[in-house]
Chains A and B, each alone.
Chain A
Amino acid sequence: MELIKLKINGKDVETLAGSTILQAAENAGINIPRLCYVPDLSPMGQCRLCVVEVEGNVLLPASCVTPVTPGMVVHTESPAVIEARRIILELLIANHPLDCMTCDKMGDCRLADYAYQYGVKGSRFVGEKHNYAVDESNPFIIRNLNKCIQCGACVRACEEITGKDNLSYMNRGYNRKVTTAGDVPYVDSDCVFCGQCVAVCPTGALTEKQMHGKARSWELQKVRTTCPFCGTGCSFDLCVKDNQIVGVTTSPDGAVNGRALCVKGRFGWDFVNNNRRLTTPLIKRNGNFEPASWDEAINLIADRLSEVKNKYGSDSFAALSSARCTNEENYLMQKFTRGVMGTNNVDHCART
């Protein structure tokens, strides 16, 4: 690949042809603020926070979508750039509820991070603000468009990761908003509640309902684990506070799934702490289920299956296993069926 030489903040930088200024800067250890740029989603160039000064250009181009050219001289924190970022942040804050003290996103909010970085305490452009009704129509996602900065990450995640294309924009200008077809609540839309939109939202516009009011983001201990719901093996982080699970988050470094999950993995964890959850095998005796040890239970199954096999023959037995099990478990199931029960009557739910 061809290498291109340029200068960023006085530093000589070499980068692959076709890189953007933002990527070149990042490789050189220079961080450029960004709200709409998400590496695993298509570029948009619409938040304009990543603008930089390029010598010879009267405009301040968005570094996330501007390719490098040989000899380019870039300044990522010049006075003009800082002024532009401050004004953009002030514009965003002027149209924001600023209820940060009770916002679940506090501590994990990129808008707040950049306001802090650029010393934006308030806005000189305060005036009318949006007053959209908060969408709490469903058990999983709280959608507060008053906090939306229209980075479009949710729209792209829904289309490009989930493939649902459930979100788009309606209206123009100040009234432009991200919403569902017909502007209906999530629950009445084609939403499958995978929560990818929540995972990519940089502000408190889309948050996990189950986590609402449960913990500050910095109080959460994150435990990387594998989803138990199916054999795909998606990884995610259990968010734990005081030894209780309060939610699930994903990160782009998930080996199998990246940031993607389905509704079960992201929102279906509440069984873990449920007091009605089974913790021992139950054996039905005299019409009632009674707790038993694992040895008791396994011995009972072994006895009964041997009985069936001896009385009615191997082919009286069939095994149907599940996509929810791992490959290894499915392998063991067929091995058991063939090797122990002596029949080829094996089937799997994913085959149908």
Chain B
Amino acid sequence: MTEEQRIVLRNADNIDPEKIEDYLQTGGYQGLEKARSMSRADLIAEIKKSNLRGRGGAAFNCGLKWSFVPADAKVTYVVCNFDEGEPGTYKDRIIVQKDPQQLLEGMAICGHAVNAKQGYIYCRGEYPYVVDLLNRAIDQARSKGVLGDFSIEVRMGGGAYVCGEESALIESIEGHRGEPRFKPPFPGVSGLWGKPTVVNNVETFANLPQIVLNGAEWFAAIGAPKYPGTKVLTLTGDVENRVFIEVPTTATLREVIFDFGGGVKNGSKFKAVQVGGTSGGFIPELLLDTSIDFDSMRSIGATLGTGAVFVMDETRDIVDIVRRIAEFFKDESCGKCNPCREGTFRCCEIMTRINKGKGTAQDIDNMTRLGKVMERVCLCGLGQASPSPILTTLQYFKHEYERKLLIS
């Protein structure tokens, strides 16, 4: 059986998150010190070699992302995506609440790599108490002088799901409507206030101090070779233990749900699991032996996403759940691009109709065609991912839809 392995949560409940001294005693800020002894190019090469991939959902190679920042850029920024808007996801909050200094150190390491003097943490608006904690942590780091000339400021989101998308997040920090920009240019070239900007997720930054300290090889050897390291998962829904865990990326979904999660609640029969947040695909029982790493998940048409694991037992009505998800996307679409604005609305209409027993086989065909177009043409990841719950449930649980259709 796979054991938990804690990298980003190694200090969780072992130190007082309010005390920087506790963090320093566990070797805190030694990673930053080592990073600062390295040249910028060597540091980026080291992170590239570790094959650390973004933990926010898109799994882009972290070092490669940093390398897009022009070496001669005069002003650059580091932005931490702590919007954590995916329903069922609370891993970033746990990482920050248990060990805020680790995030600051990770950001400062990135700051050294891309020559940034300023970092921003874009924090989910529903976490005001974490903002307070972070501000106290920043004050302590500043008074200890550990961050050097790197400053960090916390900005709060206003509750829009789309602001977890990096370019909408940047727009929001700039004070504009939270709507995504077209890419390219990517933030690494033109981001915050038009300057080269690295946007990484909390968990990505939190991995950096240990990677720098222990070396790229150490990290690359943990978990799946193509998506090495650990992943923090949050278990929700009909699972016995609704807990957070940090496991190597070779752990399988079955291990996650049945070993760490203690199985389906009250001994019920398993029906489906949705991984990666509300835009994740639905996975049936027969695919549970897939390991959680990004590429394995993708190979079964699912996504690792943020690492939310939402378990549904046999009593759950898949069509009703997907209708609720469709309503969520209808509400959270920013409305900038046509296919997402109009498409999420129509998906919600059709799902509502089917769920009420008023849908037809034609509705399913229409929604499938719409979903397949949305996946390819929407402006940002929100619209592109939003049909996934519909399309994967139509693939694995079509009988549940058919049961509800009008008999013509």
Contacts and interface: CB of A to CB of B under 8 A. Distances in A.
Interface in A38-68: 43-49, 51, 58-60, 62, 65-67
A176 interface: yes
Contact of A83 (B160, B336, B369, B378): B369
Given A125-B346, A127-B349, A172-B332, A88 B373 contact: yes
Given A48-B379, A84-B377, A174 B335 contact: yes
B333 A172 contact: yes
Contact of A91 (B334, B339, B384): B339
Interface residues of B, number: 32
Contact of B342 (A60, A80, A95): A95
A88 B345 CA distance: 13
Interface residues of A, number: 38
A172 B172 CA distance: 14
Given A128-B349, A172-B332, A92 B338 contact: yes
A46 B339 CA distance: 9
A87 interface: yes
B331 to A, nearest CB: 6
A94 B362 CA distance: 16
Interface in A68-112: 80, 83-84, 87-88, 91-92, 94-95
A43 B182 contact: yes
B330 interface: yes
Given A59-B384, A175-B335, A169 B373 contact: no
A168 B376 CA distance: 27
| Overall SS of chain A's interface | loop
Given A45-B379, A169-B177, A125 B335 contact: no
B335 A91 contact: no
A65 B346 CA distance: 27
B229 interface: no
A91 B330 contact: no
Interface centre among A124, A150, A173 (most CB of B within 10 A): A173
Contacts of B330: 173-174
A174 B338 contact: no
Interface string A17-51: 00000000000000000000000000111111101
A46 B376 contact: no
Contacts of B376: 51, 58-60, 80, 84
Nearest to A95: B342
| Overall SS of chain B's interface | helix
B366 interface: yes
Interface in B315-369: 330-339, 341-346, 349, 362, 366, 369
A46 B346 contact: no
A220 to B, nearest CB: 30
Contacts of B177: 168-169
Contacts of B346: 91, 94, 125, 127
A51 B160 CA distance: 27
B308 to A, nearest CB: 22
B302 to A, nearest CB: 16
B182 A173 contact: no
B338 A176 contact: no
B341 to A, nearest CB: 6
A149 interface: yes
Contacts of B349: 125, 127-128
Interface string B246-275: 000000000000000000000000000000
A151 B181 CA distance: 14
Contacts of B345: 127-128, 173-174
A174 B341 contact: yes
A93 B179 CA distance: 24
A67 B341 CA distance: 25
Nearest to A92: B338
A171 interface: yes
Nearest to B343: A91
Contacts of B369: 83, 87
B333 A87 contact: no
Interface in B123-152: none
Nearest to B378: A48
B394 interface: no
Contacts of A149: 338
Contacts of B341: 150, 173-174, 176
B184 interface: yes
A174 B379 contact: no
B94 interface: no
Given A94-B346, A169-B177, A174-B345, A84 B373 contact: yes
A176 B336 contact: yes
Contacts of A62: 182, 379
Given A83-B369, A174-B345, A44 B377 contact: no
Given A59-B376, A91-B346, A173-B335, 16 more contacts: A48-B378, A58-B376, A65-B182, A84-B373, A87-B339, A87-B369, A88-B377, A125-B342, A125-B346, A127-B345, A172-B160, A174-B330, A174-B341, A174-B345, A176-B335, A176-B336
23 contacts: A43-B182, A44-B182, A45-B182, A46-B337, A48-B337, A48-B379, A51-B376, A84-B376, A91-B339, A92-B338, A95-B342, A125-B346, A125-B366, A128-B345, A169-B177, A171-B335, A173-B330, A173-B344, A173-B345, A174-B330, A175-B335, A176-B335, A176-B336
